[in-house]
Amino acid sequence: MTSSEGPRYRVIYSEVVRKMVRGLADKARDQGLLDEFLSALRTTDLRLNADPGEFGEVNYHLKYMGLEVRHAVVGFLSVHFAVDAVRFLVYVQKFEISSLRPR
């Protein structure tokens, strides 16, 4: 890591979220949009690791837990997540596909 880069965050995907992603990938594949889905997923993961506090919009704060809950959209993929800036952790809550164009 160079001195201009900030710390990397550890992104936590529960098994429920992992299953959700697999299901969304199946839907995207059925619509012929798997490449776009995977590209949005990679971009999202990169941003969550590198700069989650600047990614998307703040929804609310959980003051006593030290979390900032955020929402971001990349292409047709949206993600809800919480950032613990003290511990450099990101908790992914859920992914959603905003819309898939019919074929």
List the domains of the chain with CATH numbers.
10-97 (3.30.2310)
pLDDT of residue 2: 39
User: N- to C-terminal Cα distance for the chain?
Assistant: 44
Does 59 score more than 90 pLDDT? yes
pLDDT of residue 100: 58
The mean predicted confidence, pLDDT, of the chain is 91
pTM listed for this prediction: 0.87
Does 3 score more than 70 pLDDT? no
Does 101 score more than 80 pLDDT? no
Q: Give the tokens for residue 44.
A: 């999202």
